[in-house]
């Protein structure tokens, strides 16, 4: 039985029902369809997971999708350990966030639309992770991008929202440009785009070089990097990270589901999925690691000074995704996946808590206008606190185990940049703890700094929202426990589970070193929390003073390193300028149209001259005739 | 002097249609004195044409010692002439009444002019040719000036006459030169003399051919001997313009074809050297000058010039295929051009000239049927399928290309594309502009019949050209 | 295979003409009858065309449903019809599009209704004729005959600058096709007096002649496509034409250029085509990027879509001249796709234009609030236009880029940038029209009615049908494309393209 087909197609059915009948018939009951579907998916996922745990791997085609010449690809599914992990993450987070949305979106005029999109997203995401070939992966990949576009721009009547949606889509297209070419290179290299033959043959090409656009390049490096372009876009890594902070214009559940837990991690999933290719190229891995490390540092620094509660979490997401790439880049794919998995819980939770706060604050996002919310919304406070402890890497929480594994494997792995990225990772761990707790302290502690009406309105969120918070909170705390390292007496079950697909990461270090690395990361985490406490609980004038003292730095950070402005300056504006002033203004109007209209005009002029020759004077006519005769005779006789 | 005893009555069979035509034309002139209803005379002239046509089909042969040749070639042309007369008469009846020149000699002049054309088509001797040409020309001069009270018409007749005389002079020069060179005026004899004596390249021959080319170019209104055409076409009664644009032009091509192909066949390379520049100039000037015209008759005059340019390509090809394409084209041209003039005539009503292009504005709204007909003729003149005009042009291009004149065909299509501009302008005025003032149409059964015939012919030949092409191919063998 | 000898193709060609004649007989005041007759005729034609789809034998490259009668025997011109895997889809597209054109014009054409529907029906005949002709003269006849109704459609029922656009359209295409006519005649004599396309294809022609003829044909086809730099008639024509005119132009007419390349240029002049590939690929890539970038600065809805056609047709020609099966099949499919999607976009624009009478993008905004159903359908078309997977646009574009990349890496890479810009201008357009605050001019507009939904529905179905199960359509092409490519690539000249399957190079 192809039970597993229910996993993606239940949400698809829900989408179709909602989009076709939602507006007229379902209206406020639209969520039932979607929730039931995703819950069904979740149940089947669990069954499938059990199958996979018992060693059953599915890889089969459903029907032939595109056939053209030797290019053949089907719609087909692969369910192995890696897929299973993603399935669990996706269906769990999706189900919880669906439920949360019932409370959050209540009364919205596009209620059915929201749930339709959520279901569609779930379908696409599941297609993405369940594909058994690159083209179907690409289908899911673009599909989730589309849903992201829809959901970011959900409040389409607001310009910033529709701008942000568009931006997300287009920026991702840049990444997909490379991704698509990567798929084409894979086909041209292997003659197929199915995972299984590609990965099993990859080694054949380990030393192959190829001429690409006039340059001789290492084939596997080329393919890996082209694929990685896609990851950079989807997972918002530098330099294509710009869309994710803006994506916060979408409803908060969307931020939690798409822009924290699932879609943005697709890039990491892609690298993990293609690990047989990446592993053949040291250069590619190095670039992945460095991209991840630099992005995580870069985003973390921006996160330090922002005041928008969702944007801080967004930068935190970028930063954490960087972490995952850092892991993949040093060959620790399992660690990356582990962090992906824990991150899904605590980051989704953070967003949902932020949503809960917004709910209470009537949509207010500015940290500076909050404060002291702890007493009004205890559940939100506690769950968010646990999430923050998790992300800050406090021992025992999920985030601690995954982050620690990454840092340790970076430090001890084979990668030439391992030590370097470890150092960055550690700094980022400190920064992460700092900004996460800055957020907690500014939001929940101290005095309320908002308006009187806002204060009057403060309340805990409804059950539909808090229950998912609590469930996710359990995940944020406990999900890491299945990957406790041997060092701490754990079984590293997570790594073991994924080993058949991703291989076992190699670590070359002593126990002492491992302890040391762990200690440093713990210290980094705690000092971050401590410093945040100092700045925002005890000596609250320090941040202001620092901002004044290091005004230039502060400004750069506040303005996110001016990347948006840079893009606008070097890409967007020149392109539109060229379109207006060169293509329309010169080539089309002054050159092509000048010729096109010029020739008839010239003929017309000539026609008017001919008309003037026709004077009506008989003598003139006779003279012209005679002249004609003379010329003809002259020519005929003299030649 | 000819020995009288050697005289025997020449075979009159081949020339019988011409004899009958002469008698009928004169009879009609007399009948005008007794018959008051001019429609009856028009009817009689059509009956005459029918009779002549009936005779035409059976009478072939060579007579008068080869001076008169009634072969398939001449037969085809004569059929075009008959068609021309019938259509002209049909569109004339109401028109000349409106113009208040409803006189019977109008019809007999048309018949006499046509008689001239018939002689030209059958001329096997330069003398016969000259006789026919002058008969045709003199009758048309009168017809051109038929609007006695219209100064433009008088001017047209005068110009046509003077320039025509000028052109005739060239014909006579050419004839005398060739007689001096070969000692004969018989086309076949000239041909054999030239080839036997290897005269190709002889300057006198060249000079003579140039003279003929000039004279014939005048008749077909080829550049630079076309100058009369716009003025005469504009000034003449519209029905006569239609008549002239088809009949004399076809007759001109008839003699051009026969003289150059028969008499000067051996010197083909040289006369193509004369005709090619003339053809190119004709297409160029005709098409380009037509663009800036504001009077539709003038525009059609230039259009007619341009079409002569295309037809010249068929002559230049010099093959029987080429001749066939010329015949085919002229036959088609008769329908589409007279059709177009018929619409022009309809716009002429009491007190309204209707020959400005701007008079066509919004015609599709006020008179959709007339506009639709004009649309068909305009597209046919442009040469857009599925109209006959396309088939005509296509066959011409084919023959030119098969004779190796691909480059000439390319030039022709370029000018043909330019021509689209002014033909489409009429369509554009009719369909895409709003009517200025209510235009009255003068419809008569004659015009209706003429339009029916022409539009059906244009569409049917456009879709099923096979018959016409086959007949033309047969007729193209001398 | 002739469906028991039933001349189905002739029926398809002549039924619309018969319909047009019938319309001639109806009094012009009886507008409803005129519309209904047109609709019934177009639907009947479509229904008759369905057996082509179901009875088509996909396992052969040979022409099917053939008919042949002598037409002008003395010149060896035949009335010869038939379709293969390359042309069949276009016949169906033509019959479908005509129905939609009748539907979309239902209320928007108020003047000269009779002439309008006559033009549409004659147009349909000519379109079907072009795709079915197996005789060059017959082909040319239909090819040129289309100019007349199209000229009228643009010039009579078009926008404010319609006359300029109509004349420009007519002259551009006429110049090109007349040069082709010369080429056809030269070919006729070269091949020993035949216009039979299939026979012409079996002959080989001197290389130099091939080059000349290639360019003569190029003149006709490139203008129709339209390729850069002969594209400037298109924005004007599209913009000024009435909705039905734009739809026919976009969906069928401009396909004929690319169809001409496939049907004639490639198999007749294989060596010249291969030699000219670099030029064609360059022009295609320029068209893709040029057309796309220029869209970014458009302020007129229809003009934007028109320029996007230039870009999309650049993809098509790129695919065709990649000279490999992915490119070619992608190209053909993309022609259908573009017909469906751009046709649908023009239909949609027409619907809103009927309500607002403005084409300026800046006059819109927030339409999604006023017309949610319309907005959703338009979104689907937008997505198909930017090649989102699961829509038809993706299949075509992907295969083309794959084929193009195979033929020439730079071509593939540069073409792929067109996909990025495509997303840019289409989403920006969508945003400006449908999102943001509701513009005064669109507030309170009625959402699209049932007739309009029915008009768009076939497009929606096709978009997803082709996107999800493209094999249903690609399957028609395989044999014909294979056969064609064998013909093109069998010449003596060197293999085109740099990157073949790398596996083969290594082995």
Give tens-digit pLDDT for A380-398.
888 888 888 888 888 888 8
**Domain encompassing residue C88:** 8-506
Strand residue runs (E) in B380-437:
none
User: Does position C503 have pLDDT exceeding 50, yes or no?
Assistant: no
Q: How far apart, in whole angstroms, are the C-alpha atoms of residue A355 and residue A309?
A: 9
Q: How confident is the model at residue A505 (pLDDT cuts 50, 70, 90)?
A: confident
How far is C-alpha A88 from the geometric centre of its chain's CA atoms? 19
Q: What is the pLDDT of residues B235-272, one digit of tens each?
A: 999 999 999 999 999 999 999 999 998 888 888 888 89
Mutate to test the interface with A, among C435, C438, C468 (most CBs of A within 10 A): C435
Q: Which of B159, B289, B421 sits opposite A610 (nearest CB)?
A: B289
User: Does position C494 have pLDDT exceeding 60, yes or no?
Assistant: no
Nearest-by-CA chain C residue for B417: C175
What b-and-e string marks burial along A16-27, b requiring 16 or more CB atoms within 10 Å of the CB?
A: ebbbeebbeebe
pLDDT at B7: 67
Number of structural domains chain B divides into: 1
Subunit contact A607:B218, Cβ cutoff 8 A:
no
Rounding to the nearest 10 degrees, give the CA dihedral for residues A253, A255, A261, A267: 150
Please answer whether residues B418 and B383 qualify as being in contact, where contact means their C-beta atoms are separated by less than 8 angstroms: no
C311 neighbourhood in chain A, CB within 8 Å: none
**Domain encompassing residue B297:** 16-475
pLDDT at B3: 53
Mutate to test the interface with A, among B155, B165, B210 (most CBs of A within 10 A): B210
pLDDT at B144: 92
Q: How far apart, in whole angstroms, are the C-alpha atoms of residue B29 and residue C330?
A: 76
Average of pLDDT values for A247-253? 86
Strand partners, B186: B125
B224 neighbourhood in chain A, CB within 8 Å: 624-625, 627-628
pTM, 2 dp = 0.90
Please answer whether residues B284 and B268 qualify as being in contact, where contact means their C-beta atoms are separated by less than 8 angstroms: no
C434 neighbourhood in chain A, CB within 8 Å: 156
Q: How far apart, in whole angstroms, are the C-alpha atoms of residue C308 and residue A392?
A: 49
Flag whether B6 is in a domain: no
Q: How far apart, in whole angstroms, are the C-alpha atoms of residue A584 and residue A607?
A: 30
A636 neighbourhood in chain B, CB within 8 Å: 206-207, 210, 270, 273-274
**Who wins on pLDDT, B158 or B101?**
B158
Subunit contact A68:C330, Cβ cutoff 8 A:
yes
CA angle A624, A627, A633 (to 5 degrees): 145
Subunit contact B424:C162, Cβ cutoff 8 A:
no
Q: For chain C, give the mean pLDDT.
A: 88
pLDDT at C491: 60
**Who wins on pLDDT, C106 or A506?**
C106
Determine the angle formed by the axes of helices B105-122 and B238-258, rounding to 10 degrees: 10
Q: Which of C152, C155, C186 sits opposite B406 (nearest CB)?
A: C186
State whether the Cα torsion A44-A46-A51-A56 is positive or negative.
positive
Q: Give φ, ψ of C232 to 5 degrees.
A: -70, -10
Mutate to test the interface with A, among B291, B303, B306, B417 (most CBs of A within 10 A): B291
Q: How far is CA B97 from CA B104, B191, B241, in A?
A: 11, 49, 16
Flag whether B68 is in a domain: yes
Is C414's Cβ below 8 Å from some Cβ in A?
A: no
Average of pLDDT values for C454-479? 91
Residues 267-286 of C with CB under 8 A from B: none
Mutate to test the interface with A, among C176, C423, C425, C461 (most CBs of A within 10 A): C423
Query: Pick from C135, C145, C128: which is nearest to C77 by CA?
Result: C135
Helix (H, G, I), strand (E, B) or coil at A277: helix
Q: Which contiguous run of DSSP H or E holds residue B70?
A: strand B68-70
Neighbors of chain A by Cβ distance (3+ pairs < 8 Å):
B, C
Average of pLDDT values for A543-566? 81
Flag whether C2 is in a domain: no
B224 cis-preceded (ω within 30 degrees of 0): yes
User: Does position C495 have pLDDT exceeding 70, yes or no?
Assistant: no
Number of structural domains chain C divides into: 1
Is C315's Cβ below 8 Å from some Cβ in A?
A: no
Please answer whether residues A317 and A259 qualify as being in contact, where contact means their C-beta atoms are separated by less than 8 angstroms: yes
Of A22-31, A285-294, C67-76, the poorest mean pLDDT is in A22-31
Rounded to a whole number of angstroms, the distance from the CA of C145 to the nearest CA of chain B is: 5
Tokens (6 digits) for A362 = 């009537």
User: Does position C126 have pLDDT exceeding 90, yes or no?
Assistant: yes
Rounded to a whole number of angstroms, the distance from the CA of A591 to the nearest CA of chain B is: 21
Q: Which of A603, A606, A636 sits opposite B273 (nearest CB)?
A: A636
Flag whether B130 is in a domain: yes
Alpha helix positions (H), B99-237: 105-122, 126-144, 151-182, 187-197, 203-220, 228-235
What contacts 24+ positions apart, CB below 8 Å, involve A481-485?
A: A481/A398, A481/A401, A483/A338, A483/A342, A483/A401, A483/A402, A483/A405, A484/A401, A485/A401, A485/A404, A485/A405, A485/A408, A485/A514
Is A206's Cβ below 8 Å from some Cβ in C?
A: no
Q: Which contiguous run of DSSP H or E holds residue C308?
A: helix C301-321
Of A186-195, A426-435, A491-500, B229-238, the poorest mean pLDDT is in A491-500
Flag whether C500 is in a domain: yes
Q: Is residue C254 left, alpha or beta, with left meaning phi > 0 and alpha meaning psi from -120 to 50?
A: alpha
Q: What is the pLDDT of residues B4-45, one digit of tens each?
A: 566 677 888 888 999 999 999 999 888 888 888 888 888 999
Strand residue runs (E) in B289-419:
none
Flag whether B459 is in a domain: yes
Please answer whether residues B382 and B423 qualify as being in contact, where contact means their C-beta atoms are separated by less than 8 angstroms: yes
Flag whether B4 is in a domain: no
Please answer whether residues A179 and C459 qualify as being in contact, where contact means their C-beta atoms are separated by less than 8 angstroms: no
Flag whether C437 is in a domain: yes
pLDDT at B6: 61
Nearest-by-CA chain B residue for C76: B466
Residues 42-81 of C with CB under 8 A from B: 71-75
Start-to-end CA distance of chain B, whole Å, equals 32
Q: How far apart, in whole angstroms, are the C-alpha atoms of residue A370 and residue A357?
A: 9
Residues 296-325 of C with CB under 8 A from B: none
Q: Which of B385, B402, B424 sits opposite C170 (nearest CB)?
A: B424
What b-and-e string marks burial along A601-638, b requiring 16 or more CB atoms within 10 Å of the CB?
A: eebeebbeebbeebeeebeebbebbeebbeebbeebee
Q: How far apart, in whole angstroms, are the C-alpha atoms of residue A514 and residue A518?
A: 6
Flag whether C3 is in a domain: no
Helix (H, G, I), strand (E, B) or coil at C360: strand
pLDDT at B276: 93
Rounded to a whole number of angstroms, the distance from the CA of B161 to the nearest CA of chain A is: 11
**Which residues are CB-contacts of A359 (< 8 A; sequence separation ≥ 6)?**
A103, A104, A461, A465
Pairing of strands C64-72, B68-70: unpaired
Tokens (6 digits) for A328 = 């993949």
Is A66's Cβ below 8 Å from some Cβ in C?
A: yes
Strand partners, C300: C360
pLDDT at B323: 92
Q: How far apart, in whole angstroms, are the C-alpha atoms of residue A294 and residue A156?
A: 34
Determine the angle formed by the axes of helices B320-347 and B296-317, rounding to 10 degrees: 170
Rounded to a whole number of angstroms, the distance from the CA of A36 to the nearest CA of chain C is: 25
Rounded to a whole number of angstroms, the distance from the CA of A610 to the nearest CA of chain B is: 6
Subunit contact A618:B274, Cβ cutoff 8 A:
no
Q: Is residue C408 left, alpha or beta, with left meaning phi > 0 and alpha meaning psi from -120 to 50?
A: beta
Residues 350-369 of C with CB under 8 A from A: 366, 368-369
Subunit contact C402:A65, Cβ cutoff 8 A:
no
Q: Which of A157, A174, A187 sits opposite C369 (nearest CB)?
A: A157
Q: What is the pLDDT of residues B57-78, one digit of tens each?
A: 888 888 888 889 999 999 999 9
A610 neighbourhood in chain B, CB within 8 Å: 285, 288-289, 292
Residues 211-240 of A with CB under 8 A from C: 211-213, 219
Of A132-146, A361-375, C345-359, C455-469, the poorest mean pLDDT is in A361-375
Flag whether B148 is in a domain: yes
User: Does position C205 have pLDDT exceeding 70, yes or no?
Assistant: yes
How far is C-alpha A639 from the geometric centre of its chain's CA atoms? 80
Q: Which of B166, B206, B210 sits opposite A625 (nearest CB)?
A: B166
Rounded to a whole number of angstroms, the distance from the CA of C386 to the nearest CA of chain B is: 37
Subunit contact A184:C412, Cβ cutoff 8 A:
yes
Strand partners, C80: C68
pLDDT at A2: 67
**In the Cβ-directed half-sphere of A384, how many Cα atoms lie within 13 Å?**
28
Average of pLDDT values for B131-145? 93
Please answer whether residues B11 and B61 qualify as being in contact, where contact means their C-beta atoms are separated by less than 8 angstroms: yes
């Amino acid at each position: 039985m192809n039970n597993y087909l229910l996993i993606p197609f239940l949400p698809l059915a829900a989408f179709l029902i909602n989009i076709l009948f939602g507006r007229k018939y379902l209206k406020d009951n639209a969520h039932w369809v979607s929730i039931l579907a995703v819950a069904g998916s979740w149940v089947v996922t669990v069954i499938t997971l059990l199958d996979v745990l018992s060693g059953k791997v599915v890889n089969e085609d459903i029907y032939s999708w595109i056939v053209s010449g030797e290019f053949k690809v089907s719609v087909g599914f692969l369910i192995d350990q890696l897929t299973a992990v993603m399935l669990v993450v996706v269906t769990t987070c999706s189900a919880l966030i669906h439920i949360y949305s019932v409370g959050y979106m209540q009364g919205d005029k596009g209620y059915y639309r929201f749930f339709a999109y959520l279901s569609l997203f779930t379908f696409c995401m599941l297609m993405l992770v369940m594909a058994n070939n690159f083209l179907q992966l690409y289908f899911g990949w673009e599909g989730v991008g589309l849903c992201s576009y829809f959901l970011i721009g959900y409040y389409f009547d607001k310009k910033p929202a529709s701008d942000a949606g568009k931006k997300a889509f287009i920026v991702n297209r840049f990444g997909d440009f490379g991704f698509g070419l990567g798929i084409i290179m894979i086909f041209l290299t292997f003659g197929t785009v199915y995972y299984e033959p590609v990965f099993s043959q990859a080694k054949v090409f380990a030393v192959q070089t190829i001429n690409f656009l006039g340059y001789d390049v290492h084939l596997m490096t080329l393919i890996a990097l082209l694929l990685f372009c896609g990851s950079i876009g989807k997972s918002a890594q530098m330099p294509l990270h710009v869309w994710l902070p803006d994506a916060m214009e979408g409803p908060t559940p969307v931020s939690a589901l798409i822009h924290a837990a699932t879609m943005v991690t697709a890039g990491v999933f892609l690298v993990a999925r293609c690990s047989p290719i990446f592993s053949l190229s040291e250069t590619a891995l190095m670039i992945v690691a460095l991209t991840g490390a630099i992005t995580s540092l870069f985003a973390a620094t921006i996160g330090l000074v922002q005041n928008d509660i969702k944007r801080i979490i967004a930068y935190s997401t970028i930063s954490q995704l960087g972490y995952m790439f850092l892991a993949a880049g040093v060959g620790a794919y399992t660690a990356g996946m582990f962090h992906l998995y824990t991150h899904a819980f605590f980051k989704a939770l953070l967003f949902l808590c932020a949503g809960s706060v917004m709910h209470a604050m009537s949509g207010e996002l500015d940290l500076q206008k909050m404060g002291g919310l702890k007493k009004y919304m205890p559940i939100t406070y506690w769950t968010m606190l646990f999430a923050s402890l998790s992300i800050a890497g406090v021992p025992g929480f999920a985030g601690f185990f995954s982050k620690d594994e990454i840092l340790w494997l970076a430090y001890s792995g084979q990668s030439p940049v391992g030590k370097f990225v470890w150092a960055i990772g550690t700094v980022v761990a400190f920064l992460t703890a700092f900004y996460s707790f800055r957020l907690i302290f500014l939001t929940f502690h101290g005095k309320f700094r908002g308006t009187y009406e806002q204060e009057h309105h403060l309340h805990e969120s409804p059950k539909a929202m808090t229950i998912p918070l609590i469930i996710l909170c359990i995940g944020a705390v406990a999900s890491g426990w299945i990957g406790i390292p041997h060092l701490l007496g754990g079984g590293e079950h997570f790594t073991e589970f994924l080993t058949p697909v991703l291989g076992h990461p190699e670590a070359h270090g002593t126990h002492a070193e491992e302890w040391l690395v762990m200690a440093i990361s713990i210290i980094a985490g705690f000092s971050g929390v401590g410093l945040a406490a100092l700045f925002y609980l005890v000596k609250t004038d320090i941040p202001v003073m620092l901002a004044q003292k290091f005004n230039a730095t502060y400004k750069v950070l506040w303005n996110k390193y001016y990347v948006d402005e840079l893009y606008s300056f070097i890409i967007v504006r020149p392109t539109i300028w060229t379109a207006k002033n060169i293509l329309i203004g010169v080539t089309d109007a002054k050159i092509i149209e000048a010729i096109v209209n010029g020739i008839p005009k010239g003929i017309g002029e000539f026609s008017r001259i001919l008309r003037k020759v026709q004077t009506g004077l008989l003598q003139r006519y006779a003279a012209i005739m005679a002249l004609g005769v003379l010329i003809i005779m002259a020519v005929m006789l003299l030649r | 002097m000819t020995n009288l005893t050697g005289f025997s009555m020449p075979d009159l069979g081949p020339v019988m249609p011409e004899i009958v035509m002469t008698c009928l034309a004169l009879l009609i002139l007399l009948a005008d004195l007794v018959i008051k209803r001019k429609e009856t005379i028009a009817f009689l002239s059509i009956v005459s044409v029918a009779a002549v046509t009936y005779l035409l089909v059976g009478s072939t042969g060579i007579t008068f010692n080869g001076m008169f040749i009634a072969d398939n070639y001449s037969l085809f042309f004569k059929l075009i002439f008959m068609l021309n007369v019938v259509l002209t008469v049909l569109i004339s009846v109401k028109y000349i009444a409106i113009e208040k020149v409803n006189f019977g000699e109008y019809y007999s002049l048309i018949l006499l002019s046509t008689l001239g054309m018939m002689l030209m088509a059958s001329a096997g001797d330069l003398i016969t040719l000259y006789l026919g040409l002058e008969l045709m020309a003199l009758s048309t001069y009168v017809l051109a000036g038929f609007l006695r009270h219209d100064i433009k018409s008088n001017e047209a007749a005068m110009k046509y006459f003077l320039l025509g005389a000028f052109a005739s002079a060239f014909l006579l020069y050419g004839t005398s030169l060739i007689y001096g060179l070969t000692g004969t005026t018989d086309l076949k004899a000239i041909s054999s003399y030239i080839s036997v004596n290897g005269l190709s390249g002889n300057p006198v021959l060249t000079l003579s051919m140039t003279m003929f080319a000039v004279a014939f170019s005048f008749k077909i209104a080829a550049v630079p001997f076309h100058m009369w055409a716009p003025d005469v076409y504009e000034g003449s009664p519209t029905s006569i313009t239609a008549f002239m644009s088809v009949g004399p032009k076809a007759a001109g091509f008839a003699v051009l074809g026969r003289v150059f192909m028969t008499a000067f066949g051996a010197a083909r390379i040289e006369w193509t050297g004369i005709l090619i520049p003339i053809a190119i100039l004709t297409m160029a000037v005709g098409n380009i000058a037509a663009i800036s015209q504001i009077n539709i008759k003038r525009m059609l005059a230039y259009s007619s010039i341009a079409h002569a340019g295309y037809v010249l390509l068929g002559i230049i090809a010099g093959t029987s295929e080429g001749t066939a394409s010329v015949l085919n084209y002229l036959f088609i041209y008769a329908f589409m051009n007279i059709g177009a003039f018929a619409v022009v005539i309809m716009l002429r009503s009491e007190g309204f000239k209707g020959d400005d292009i701007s008079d066509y504005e919004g015609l599709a709204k006020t008179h959709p049927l007339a506009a639709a007909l004009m649309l068909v003729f305009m597209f046919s003149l442009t040469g857009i399928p599925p109209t006959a005009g396309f088939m005509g042009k296509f066959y011409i291009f084919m023959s030119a290309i098969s004779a190796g004149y691909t480059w000439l065909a390319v030039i022709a299509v370029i000018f043909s594309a330019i021509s689209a501009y002014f033909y489409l302008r009429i369509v554009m005025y009719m369909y895409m502009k709003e009517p200025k003032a209510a235009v009255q149409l003068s419809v008569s059964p004659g015009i209706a019949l003429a339009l029916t015939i022409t539009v059906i012919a244009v569409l049917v030949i456009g879709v099923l050209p096979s018959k016409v092409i086959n007949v033309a191919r047969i007729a193209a063998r001398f | 295979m002739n469906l028991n000898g039933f001349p189905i193709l002739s029926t398809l060609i002549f039924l619309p003409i018969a319909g047009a004649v019938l319309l001639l007989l109806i009094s012009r005041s009886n507008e409803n009858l005129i519309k209904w007759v047109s609709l019934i005729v177009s639907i009947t034609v479509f229904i008759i065309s369905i057996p082509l789809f179901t009875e088509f034998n996909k396992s052969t490259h040979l022409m099917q449903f053939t008919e042949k009668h002598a037409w002008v025997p003395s010149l060896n011109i035949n009335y010869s019809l038939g379709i293969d895997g390359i042309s069949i889809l276009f016949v169906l597209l033509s019959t479908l599009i005509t129905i939609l054109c009748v539907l979309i014009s239902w209320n928007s054409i108020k003047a000269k209704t009779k002439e309008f529907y006559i033009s549409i029906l004659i147009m349909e005949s000519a379109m079907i004729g072009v795709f079915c002709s197996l005789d060059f003269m017959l082909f040319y006849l239909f090819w040129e005959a289309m100019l007349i109704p199209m000229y009228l459609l643009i010039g009579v029922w078009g926008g404010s600058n319609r006359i300029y656009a109509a004349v420009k359209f007519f002259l551009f295409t006429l110049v090109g096709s007349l040069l082709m006519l010369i080429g056809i005649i030269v070919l006729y004599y070269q091949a020993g007096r035949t216009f039979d396309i299939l026979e012409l294809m079996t002959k080989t022609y001197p290389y130099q002649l091939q080059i000349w003829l290639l360019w003569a044909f190029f003149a006709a086809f490139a203008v129709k496509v339209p390729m850069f730099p002969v594209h400037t008639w298109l924005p004007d024509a599209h913009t000024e034409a009435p909705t039905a005119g734009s739809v026919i132009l976009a969906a069928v007419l401009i396909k004929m250029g690319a169809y001409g390349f496939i049907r004639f240029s490639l198999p007749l002049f294989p060596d010249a085509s291969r030699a000219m590939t670099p030029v064609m690929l360059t022009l295609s890539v320029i068209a893709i990027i040029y057309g796309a970038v220029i869209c970014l600065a458009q302020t007129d809805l229809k003009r934007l879509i028109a320029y996007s056609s230039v870009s999309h047709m650049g993809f098509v020609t790129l695919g065709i001249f990649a000279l490999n099966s992915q490119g070619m099949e992608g190209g053909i499919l993309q022609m259908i796709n573009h017909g469906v999607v751009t046709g649908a976009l023009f239909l949609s624009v027409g619907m809103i234009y009927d309500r607002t009478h403005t084409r300026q993008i800046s006059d819109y905004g927030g339409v999604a609030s006023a017309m949610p159903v319309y907005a959703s359908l338009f979104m689907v078309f937008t997505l198909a236009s930017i090649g989102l997977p699961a829509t038809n646009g993706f299949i075509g574009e992907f295969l083309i880029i794959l084929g193009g990349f195979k033929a020439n890496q730079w071509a593939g890479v540069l073409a792929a940038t067109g996909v990025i810009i495509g997303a840019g201008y289409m989403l920006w357009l969508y945003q400006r029209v449908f999102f943001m605050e509701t513009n005064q001019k669109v507030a309170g507009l009625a959402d699209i009615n049932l007739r309009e939904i029915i008009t768009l529905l076939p497009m929606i179905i096709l978009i997803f049908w082709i996107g999800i199960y493209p094999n249903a359509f690609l399957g028609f092409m395989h044999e014909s494309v294979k056969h064609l490519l064998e013909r093109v690539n069998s010449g003596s000249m060197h293999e085109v393209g740099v990157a073949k399957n790398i596996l083969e190079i290594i082995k």
